[in-house]
Structure formats: C-alpha cells, structure tokens
C-alpha cells in the first residue's frame, strides 16, 4: 500500500504561483500582510548571515525557506496560546511579537534574547533537539487541567523525529489528550543527513497512526495552505479532540548554520529544483499574477523591509554589553550555594585581571 496517498499534501498555490486550492478563508489584506512579513523576515535572515561573515555576530542558524510554515502557523493561533520553538524558529517568534533584534542578540550571546516579552506566550528557543516537544505537552496538559482553553504549538525539524523525546511527547499527549499541535518542518535534511537516511517511512505524518492521533501533510512553502490547515487543526485540538501531528514539507534554502557548507553533501540539481517554489517567490508570483501586487509596490515592500531590519541591527549592536558572570544568571530563580561560590570566584578573577578559565 502506498501510504503516502493516505496523507496527501494540502496546497492552495503551487510552485508557479497558480491557485490550485481554495483560499476563500484568507482575505486580500491578509495575503498582503503575509507577504510583507515573508519579505521582512527573509531580509533579516540574509542580513544575519552577512553579519556573521563580517564577524559582527556569532554562529547563526538560517531559516530561509521555512518562513511560510512558521508565520502561517502562528497566524492561526490565539494570543494566549503557547509557542515552543527550536533555535531555527525565530520567524515564528518574531511574528508572535518578539523583537527582530532578538535573533541577532541571541547569536551575540546576550541572555536578553531568552527573556520573552510580556504578552507573548512563548518559551525561549530550544537548542536541545526535540526537547521543546516535551515542554509543549506539559504546557498543553496543564492548560487542559485548568480549563484554560489554550493550545500549545511546537515546531521541530525532520531530524527531531529521530529523537526519543519526540516519540515520548506524542505518546503522552495522545494518552492524556493534551491540546498540542506538533508541527514538523520537514526541510529534507538533518544537517547533512537526508530524510531517506533518517527513516524508512514514506512520510512523517503517518507516524500519527502509531499514537492514534490526527496526521496531516501540508505544503510548507505555501503560506496560505499552512494558515488554513493550521486554523482548522488548531480549532479541532482546542475542542478537545486530542493532539495532532502536521508535516510541513518544505526545503532548507541554505546551510544548517553559518558553520555548515551544504555544497559538500547536497546536490546542486536538488537545490535548483526544490528552491524554485520557495515561499517568498511563490507568493510574489501569485500576487503579481492576480492583481494583489505591482512591481512598484513590491519595491516599496522590499525597501521597507530593509529599513526595518536595519533598525533591528542597530538595536542589537547598540545593546549594552553584558558581563561574563552573567553566565550564572537566568538559570535558577535563586542560585545554589555552589553556583554562588563559583560566581564570586569568577568575579574575583576578573577583578584581578586574570583569566576566567579553570
């Protein structure tokens, strides 16, 4: 049996920008707003890459190619729903209300990037692969027990589905019917390991069968399809029908991080073929072809995005420099005796002009 046929990919606009589905649930103004966000976040991502190459920020994990999945999914949430993302999900957090300077501050090593602003129900980005799926289940279960009506949405990559945390999360969420949406951004590669080497399943969505929960595939490069699919799924999950697993089929346009060179393992033919339908270009084609955008308006959107990103860069670079001993802060509400002692010794060495090693 071709199980992939049981999990067809939901799509509204194809790679060429042609309408192939129903977008009646998305207004023209929403489409324009989505496009403005896509362009702004793509501009930010590309600028961050250049800043790293200039030595102005540290290692950075690009998200280009995955903006549609992140923006479309968050747009389907209510304000008090939870977002639990990984280190590559800054597009989702930015759309939710986290300042655009935070991805840059994070790569600069500033602890403030983990201090989510008031009014944004999100956890700091998670570096440990798949650990955020556990946190999402806990938040969702807690919400259900307190009858808060909240849903938790957790983002992760295809590589995370090979981790035990992922399976443990789906199992527990299924057992307790936690209102959580598991959203896998299947970008085809876990660093240098292709999806075909990670699993013997035809799809990631079909893994939902093992946990008796809903499983859906959606075109992760089609922001309209992502938004409409998530809106429907989140609604069902909020009603208490149990968790859901969504596989957003997308493609990582660049490197895993700025420390990676994808040309060493990824065929150029694949990049050319799969990058053609990337989110920004796809929506632009659709809008230009349907009178929702003109070439002049597109230039205005791009210029506005550059100005917005430049403000974020200035905010990050002008942010007060932290002190080395801050590595001890923001972990526990109250430092343990051992950490207090270590912090004091660390400060003393700095004051004496010695090294902070040892």
How many angstroms separate the Cα of 189 from the Cα of each of 250, 253, 256, 281? 10, 11, 8, 21
Residue 283 structure tokens: 């929506």
Sign (positive or negative) of CA dihedral 278, 106, 256, 186 = negative
256 an active-site residue?
yes
The residue among 55, 42, 89, 54 whose CA lies nearest residue 282 is 42
Name the catalytic one among 150, 252, 282, 285: 252
265 an active-site residue?
yes
Name the catalytic one among 53, 197, 265, 273: 265
Place of tokens 């080395």: 324
The residue among 68, 118, 59, 57 whose CA lies nearest residue 87 is 59
Name the catalytic one among 256, 282, 284, 285: 256
Active site residues: 252, 256, 265
């Amino acid at each position: 049996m071709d199980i992939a046929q049981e999990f067809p990919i939901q799509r509204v606009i194809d790679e060429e920008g042609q309408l192939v589905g129903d977008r009646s649930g998305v207004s023209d103004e929403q489409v324009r707003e989505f496009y403005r966000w896509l362009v702004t976040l793509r501009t930010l991502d590309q600028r961050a890459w250049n800043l790293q190459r200039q030595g102005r920020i540290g290692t950075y994990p690009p998200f280009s190619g995955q903006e549609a999945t992140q923006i479309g999914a968050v747009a389907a949430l209510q304000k008090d729903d939870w977002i639990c993302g990984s280190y590559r999900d800054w597009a989702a957090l930015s759309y939710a209300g986290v300042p655009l300077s935070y991805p840059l501050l994070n790569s600069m090593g500033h602890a403030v990037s983990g201090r989510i602003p008031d009014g944004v129900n999100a956890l700091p980005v998670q570096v440990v692969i798949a650990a955020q799926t556990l946190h999402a289940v806990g938040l969702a279960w807690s919400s259900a027990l307190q009858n808060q009506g909240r849903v938790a949405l957790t983002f992760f990559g295809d590589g995370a589905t090979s981790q035990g945390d992922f399976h443990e999360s789906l199992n527990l969420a299924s057992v307790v019917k936690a209102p959580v949406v598991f959203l896998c951004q299947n970008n085809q590669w876990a660093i240098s390991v292709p999806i075909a080497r990670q699993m013997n399943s035809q799809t990631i969505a079909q893994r939902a069968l093992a946990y008796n929960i809903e499983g859906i595939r959606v075109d992760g490069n089609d922001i309209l399809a992502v938004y409409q699919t998530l809106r429907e799924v989140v609604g069902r999950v909020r009603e208490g029908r149990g968790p859901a697993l969504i596989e957003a089929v997308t493609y990582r346009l660049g490197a895993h991080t700025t420390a990676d060179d994808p040309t060493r393992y990824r065929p150029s033919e694949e990049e050319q073929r799969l990058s053609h339908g990337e989110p920004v270009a796809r929506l632009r084609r659709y809008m230009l072809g349907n009178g929702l955008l003109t070439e002049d308006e597109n230039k205005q959107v791009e210029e506005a995005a550059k100005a917005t990103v430049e403000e974020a860069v200035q905010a990050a670079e002008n942010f007060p420099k932290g002190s080395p001993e801050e590595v001890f802060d923001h972990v526990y509400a109250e430092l343990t005796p051992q950490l207090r002692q270590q912090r004091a010794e660390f400060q003393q060495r700095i004051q004496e002009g010695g090294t902070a090693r040892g």
